[in-house]
Amino acid sequence: MASPALFHLSFPVSDLEATERWYVDGLGCLRGRRSQEAMVLGLGGHQLVAHLERDPGPIQRGLYPRHFGLVFTEPADFEAIEQRAKQQELRFGVACRLRYPDSPLEHRSFFLIDPSANWLEFKHYRHPEAVLGLGELTLVGERTDPSLLP
């Protein structure tokens, strides 16, 4: 690609008013267009679209099978979003912690849960090559970690 592409994610919500308060006022997202059924949000320069679903199906009870979020390149940016989440009293699903310490995959991470029970992860890797590299390593996710289970 000649120029960087923006990521787009569409996700279900049960209440657009609560979604706007949480993402815009709480998390600090930019609000774009809004209709009666959907709202465009800017998160880290990327496009999210919250779609109102009257029957969103079963509520996810943990961070799996899906979650989304941001990987920060600068530790100060990671710390700033964590502090904002605390100040705005956003719901933490998993508090900030150090994952995979003393390994090439070492990173700090925390999870938030929005009003529609969508899980968001925010993280910062100590070694930048861990974001998309280190293909020789097989550790991905921690589905069996008891601290990440509901």
Residue range 96-112: mean pLDDT, rounded: 92
The burial of 109, by beta-carbon neighbours within 10 Å (0-12 exposed, 13-18 middle, 19 or more buried), is given as buried
Hey, is 100 helix, strand or coil?
coil
* Nearest-angstrom CA–CA distance, 134 and 95: 26
The reported pTM is 0.88
First to last CA, the chain: 40
Q: In one letter, which amino acid is 20?
A: E
Hey, is 43 helix, strand or coil?
strand
pLDDT of residue 79 exceeding 70: yes
